[in-house]
Amino acid sequence: MKILPSEITSYTNYLNRRKFIKSSIATAGFLGFSGGLEANHNSNQDVYNDQLDENDFLNSYEDITTYNNFYEFGMGKSDPYKNSGNFKPKPWSIKLEGLINNPQDIDLEKLLQKVTIEDRVYRLRCVEAWSMVIPWQGFPLSELIKIADPLSSAKFIQFVTVFRPDEMPGQKKRLLSWPYVEGLRMDEATHPLTILSTGLYGHDLLNQSGAPIRLVVPWKYGFKSIKSISSIRFVDKQPEATWSMMAPSEYGFYSNVNNLVDHPRWSQGTERRIGEFKRRKTLPFNGYEEEVSYLYKGMDLRKYY
Ligand code: MTE
């Protein structure tokens, strides 16, 4: 999908524009800044953006939307940007199924009327040792979990990406086993940092970023953040996840960013921030240790990598 030069925004411009958008919301009563999908917008959520420090600069809209991993559109970093033009993210619904009181196919437009869209600026750290800082718009996954109303036997959640080989050329090849699936433990899924994102930089997600809705779990390697989600299953056992099924010794179910546990083929001690030359140190839990380490108390994170 084409990106206009005017959309390549610096952080300062972005923040100024966000201020402008907020004030136009206040004066004109304008809702739904994130394009056509309307939702309420909460202007009071900077609390979840505090983990960044003065060395974290927002990546440009261009970086974030032209350097991607989305194997449904091919294996190269620019394939998702180049090959996703035929993908149709609208209309969209998500199937909620499994151990819940309210199984249903929920229409995305209707879901977005029930939740509050927030800004969350998060680091994204790929297991391939590159990283970015991305200003997402989204809502806590816990809000959707409340709608599903899980039974007490639901201990994990599995997410499934849509399977549409006619729109996703990579799915015609056996690059991975399709559809792409991922999973979280229930307490990880309900953690306030875990969001479902529908936009970034104030625009609806482009196809290459996982339109129209994707997971973002900032303390885990990027592959946990599954794109273009069409089903969410509530289950009692640890579910299958695409990369850990394919190479269990390389990719664990938890996949918390861990600078002390190397991948068999590359070190996880440092990373390259896209747009920078000098490598920087990788932080435990990608810098979110204070917020999430309690989830893993007593667990040997070398064993549960
Ligand atoms: N989701 C699906 N369905 N298919 C994929 O290939 N790639 C993952 C993740 N989500 C992937 C996916 C990987 S490896 C990473 S690093 C992130 O998406 C990349 O997200 P980004 O392209 O928005 O940076």
pLDDT digits (tens, 9 = 90+) for 62-119: 999 999 999 999 999 999 999 999 999 999 999 999 999 999 999 999 999 999 999 9
* pLDDT tens profile 113-137: 999 999 999 999 999 999 999 999 9
The verdict on residue 303 lying in a domain is no
**Given this model, what pLDDT does residue 31 score?**
34
**Contact 161 CB / ligand 1 (< 6 Å):** yes
What pTM does this model have? Answer: 0.88
In a domain, 275, yes or no: yes
Going from the Cα of 304 to the center of ligand 1, the distance in angstroms, rounded, reads 21
72 lines ligand 1 (CB under 6 A): yes
Residue-level pLDDT at 15: 54
Residue of the CA atom closest to atom 23 of ligand 1: 209
pLDDT value at position 289?
A: 96
- pLDDT for residue 190 is more than 60: yes
Write the residue with the smallest CA distance to atom 22 of ligand 1: 68
For the chain, percent of residues with pLDDT exceeding 90: 79
Instruction: Note the pLDDT of residue 34.
Output: 37
Whose Cα sits closest to atom 24 in ligand 1?
68
Residue 226 beta carbon below 6 angstroms from any ligand 1 atom? yes
Note whether residue 91 is domain-resident.
yes
Task: Give the ligand 1 atom nearest the CA of 126.
Answer: 16
* C-beta 131 within 6 A of ligand 1: no
- pLDDT computed for residue 27 by the predictor: 34
Please report, rounded to a whole number, the percentage of residues in the chain having pLDDT higher than 70. 84
Task: Choose the residue to mutate in 225, 231, 245 for probing ligand 1, maximizing ligand atoms within 8 Å of C-beta.
Answer: 225
Distance from Cα 210 to the centre of ligand 1, integer Å = 8
CATH number for the domain harbouring residue 74: 3.90.420.10
Taking the centre of ligand 1 as the mean of its atom positions, its distance from the CA of residue 30, in whole angstroms, is: 32
- Predicted confidence band at 294 (pLDDT cuts at 50, 70, 90)? very high
Arithmetic mean of pLDDT over the chain: 88
More confident site: 54 or 42: 54
Query: Is 304 a member of any domain?
Result: no
Task: Quote the pLDDT of residue 55.
Answer: 86
CA 3 to ligand 1 center in whole angstroms: 20
Distance 218 CA to ligand 1 centre (A): 13
Return the structure tokens found at 92: 């969209």
pLDDT digits (tens, 9 = 90+) for 38-47: 344 444 345 5
Parent domain of 119: 5-296
* Cβ(68) – ligand 1 distance below 6 Å: yes
Does residue 305 form part of some domain?
no
Q: Which protein residue has the closest C-alpha to ligand 1 atom 21?
A: 68
Exposure of 33 in the CB half-sphere (CA atoms within 13 A): 24
Q: What is the number of structural domains in the chain?
A: 1
The 3-state secondary structure of the chain, one letter per residue: CCCCHHHCCCHHHHHHHHHHHHHHHHHHCCCCCCCCCCCEECCCCHHHHCCCCCCCCCCCHHHHHHCCCCHHHCCCCCHHHHHCCCCCCCCCEEEEEECECCCEEEEHHHHHHHCEEEEEEEEEECCCCEEEEEEEEEEEHHHHHHHHCECCCCCEEEEEECCCCCCCHHHHCCCCCCCCEEEEEHHHHCCCCCEEEEEECCEECCHHHCCCCEEECCCECHHHCCCCEEEEEEECCCCCCHHHHHCCCCCCCCCECCCCCCECCECCCEEEECCCCCCEECCHHHHCHHHHHHHHCCCCCCCCC
pLDDT of residue 266: 82
Which atom in ligand 1 lies closest to the alpha carbon of residue 208?
A: 22
The torsion of the CA quartet 197, 131, 159, 149, rounded to 10 degrees, works out to -50
Is residue 222 in contact with ligand 1, taking CB distance under 6 Å? Answer: yes
